[in-house]
Amino acid sequence: MAALLLVTVFLPAAAALLVGCCGQNQARWLALAASLATLAGAIALAVGFQTGDVAFAATDYPWLAATGLPLDIRFNIALDGLSLWLFVLTALLLVVAVLISWEAIKDQTSLYYRLLLLLGSGMLGVFVAHDIILFYLFFEFTLVPLFFLIGIWGSDQRRYAAIKFFLFTLAGSVMTLLALLAIVFWVSNDGGKFTFSIPALTEYLNQHPMPMSMQAWIFVGLFAGFAIKVPLFPFHTWLPLAHVEAPAAGSILLAGVLLKIGTYGFLRFSLPMLPEATAASMPYMLWLAAAGIIYGALVALAQSDLKRLIAYSSVSHLGFCMLGIFALNRVAIQGGALQMINHGLSTGGLFALVGMLYERYHTRRIADFGGIAREVPVLAFFMVFMTMASIGLPGLNGFVGEFMLLLGMFQRAWGGTVTESTLHYRWISVLAVSGVVLGAWYMLLLVKRVFFGSPRERKHAGHISDLSFREVAALVPLCIVIVWIGVQPKFFLDRMAPSIEQLSGAAIRAADGKNGLDPSLAEIPRKTDVDAVKFKSQSRKDAKTQAKAAEIGAPHPTVDRRATNEFLPRTGARHLTTALPLCDFAPPRDFPAGRADSRRKSLATDFAFASDGKDSDYPRAEIARVP
């Protein structure tokens, strides 16, 4: 499988070299053959993927390293649960991009397909790179082909749009590189070696976390690059122009894949490497996500251009992805990660359909359409289908992702101790739900104005053909996957979940520690050795209090210091304080110690138990990070 992954990543780039030697027609067919072979390789890798594997089909050998030098930069590529479906999505949308460009691109065809295939290799490489330098090279490499695709084959303002896109993303990526290098240097100060391996750095920082002040500065650097790439409000200003001016294939790959690099970066780097800073930034990130959801939806409602409307819908939908990621809740993060795939499918299909409309009517102004479902019923069917997927119709992919991330956000808002931050989260969750309503409003209004109602007079009269077999072939695979995710999301979630839980666990625990936790929603670690803690009951209320402590395996330090010292290293805490009365107690057999067995790993690992001072039956669990 390692050889297959290597071939799949670099096959489009190799085909790009051959395309340059072909004529116009041969270039199309060669590009199609290369993209189909890439998709076949991606599907084979997905079929062979072992759930829970964090380095599937890995290729790892020294690249910029030498014996005796404290430098370890490796060519390390592999798949895990987070990158698997993004990898397959990239290969699928590359095929769609080639097919819809078949008749639309008539000038410099060979150069066009060469750049398109090079862009495909760059995007595939980003999601499999397990070395920081390799990740950055692929990350930057994606900018160059898209810059020329927009600048040469775009619309009237293509050059301005290309330059603005390039400068925005380049500036952000430089900040990202500096932040990643800071991580490498900090780890090297402790380990004595400059390692750029992403898994090695993640593991080291889980065991030896950075000081909070250092995490905060590095988080800002990563935020600068990834927030622009998403783009997160208010760093979105480059996106609508880039979408409007880009050719249809460029818009498909930009919305479907390239924007996901930003959300992927937060999941890959920020959450596992900077958990405390991520938890501290959670309220601010959630407000930015909610602002993007509402702002993108309201601006989309006011648009008169088809492409610009869908571009602003991307701002709103990527706000949902960020909301799920930074809710720092297990369900929400998995929903946000799945919604990244869902957005790529539905929005990629919508941009493909807009390109097909433009080929036939030579306009993107919504006012120039009306009642065209009579002329192009097949196109109308696919447009309605993609619209339903985009707005989250139950049974299609969008519903699953939005439901999960909103459920997780509501758990974060209503499931913990009521604090000032909790009130913010409740407002944010309500705003997010209103974004769903607004999304349905502007998309259904778009379908109504373009495809239904009375026909309007058009400048370009004459016969309008419906979708060809080639265009239907480009859209059908997207529809199949959309329905598949909608009716059987477990197939996709099962392969994603282990990697995502591993990457997000530290940040979830840090967030729970800062914001309080409802035990009914928590993932409580099971006690593995409480035999050393034996209590004698002095009162019925004291017994209940001690039972709550035993439930999570916290020994009473004043009774058994040895058990306390064994307990603390397992949890990662540095000391345990308690105000519980001294008594010995063996919990009754019917005590519901396993009521949260299925959710054990996200409770913060620093415990401080105290009674509430009012002779209550249950203790108050205060979770605090010990400096």
Averaged over 147-175, what is the pLDDT?
89
* Residue 512 confidence (pLDDT): 78
| Domain match, 363 and 395 both | yes
* Model pLDDT for residues 110-140, shown as the tens digit of each residue: 899 999 999 999 999 999 999 999 999 998 8
Whether residue 627 has pLDDT greater than 90: no
| Domain match, 501 and 556 both | no
For residues 81 and 497, is the Cβ–Cβ distance under 8 A?
A: yes
The overall longest dimension of the chain from CA atoms, in Å, is 93
* Residue 488 confidence (pLDDT): 92
Name which of 584, 625, 583, 619 is nearest 607 in CA terms. 625
105 pLDDT tier (thresholds 50, 70, 90): confident
Q: What tokens does 49 get?
A: 């993927």
Whether residue 536 has pLDDT greater than 60: no
Angle at 170 between CA 168 and CA 176, to 5 degrees: 110
Kindly state whether residue 496 falls inside one of the protein's structural domains: yes
Whether residue 582 has pLDDT greater than 70: no
41 pLDDT tier (thresholds 50, 70, 90): very high
| Domain match, 388 and 507 both | yes
* Residue 134 confidence (pLDDT): 92
CB burial readout 528-538, b (16+ within 10 A) else e = eebeebebeee
| Domain match, 449 and 334 both | yes
Helix (H, G, I), strand (E, B) or coil at 11: helix
Q: What tokens does 240 get?
A: 């609508």
* Model pLDDT for residues 76-92, shown as the tens digit of each residue: 999 998 999 999 999 99
Kindly state whether residue 445 falls inside one of the protein's structural domains: yes
* Residue 362 confidence (pLDDT): 84
Cα separation, 588 vs 544, whole angstroms: 10
603 against 23, higher pLDDT: 23
Whether residue 438 has pLDDT greater than 90: yes
* Residue 595 confidence (pLDDT): 37
For residues 436 and 392, is the Cβ–Cβ distance under 8 A?
A: yes
68 pLDDT tier (thresholds 50, 70, 90): low
* Residue 517 confidence (pLDDT): 52
Phi, psi dihedrals of residue 578, rounded to the nearest 5°: -150, 145
Amino acid at site 324 = G
| Domain match, 399 and 489 both | yes
Averaged over 168-185, what is the pLDDT?
89
Whether residue 204 has pLDDT greater than 80: yes
User: DSSP letter string over 589-620?
Assistant: TT--TTTTTT--S-S-S-EEEE--SS--SS-E
Beta-strand pair 71-79/194-195: parallel
pTM: 0.79
Rounded mean pLDDT of the chain? 79
* Chain CA centroid to CA 19, Å: 33
Averaged over 530-553, what is the pLDDT?
40
**609: β partners:** 578, 621
Q: Which residue has the tokens 């009162």?
A: 539
Kindly state whether residue 310 falls inside one of the protein's structural domains: yes
Whether residue 224 has pLDDT greater than 50: yes
Cβ contacts of residue 345 below 8 Å, gap of 6+?
Answer: 89, 256, 389, 397, 478, 481, 482, 485
296 against 458, higher pLDDT: 296
* Model pLDDT for residues 235-284, shown as the tens digit of each residue: 888 888 888 888 999 999 999 899 999 999 999 999 999 999 998 889 89
Kindly state whether residue 156 falls inside one of the protein's structural domains: no
Cβ contacts of residue 178 below 8 Å, gap of 6+?
Answer: 221
**623: β partners:** 607
Rg (CA), the chain: 27
| Domain match, 471 and 560 both | no
| Domain match, 322 and 398 both | yes
Kindly state whether residue 346 falls inside one of the protein's structural domains: yes
Cβ contacts of residue 199 below 8 Å, gap of 6+?
Answer: 54, 55, 130
Kindly state whether residue 237 falls inside one of the protein's structural domains: no
Percent of the chain beyond pLDDT 90?
42
Instruction: Give the total number of structural domains in the chain.
Output: 2
Kindly state whether residue 473 falls inside one of the protein's structural domains: yes
* Residue 612 confidence (pLDDT): 36
> Is the Cα dihedral 100, 104, 109, 114 positive or negative?
negative
Kindly state whether residue 434 falls inside one of the protein's structural domains: yes
Averaged over 402-421, what is the pLDDT?
82
Averaged over 383-400, what is the pLDDT?
92
| Domain match, 409 and 303 both | yes
* Residue 147 confidence (pLDDT): 92
| Domain match, 365 and 307 both | yes
Whether residue 342 has pLDDT greater than 80: yes
Least confident range of 171-175, 200-204, 396-400, 610-614? 610-614
* Residue 523 confidence (pLDDT): 40
| Domain match, 551 and 443 both | no
469 pLDDT tier (thresholds 50, 70, 90): very high
Task: Please count the other Cβ atoms lying within 10 Å of the Cβ belonging to residue 36.
Answer: 15
| Domain match, 348 and 422 both | yes
417 pLDDT tier (thresholds 50, 70, 90): low
| Domain match, 562 and 512 both | no
Cα separation, 24 vs 28, whole angstroms: 7
Domain that holds residue 393: 287-455+465-518
Whether residue 570 has pLDDT greater than 70: no
* Residue 453 confidence (pLDDT): 76
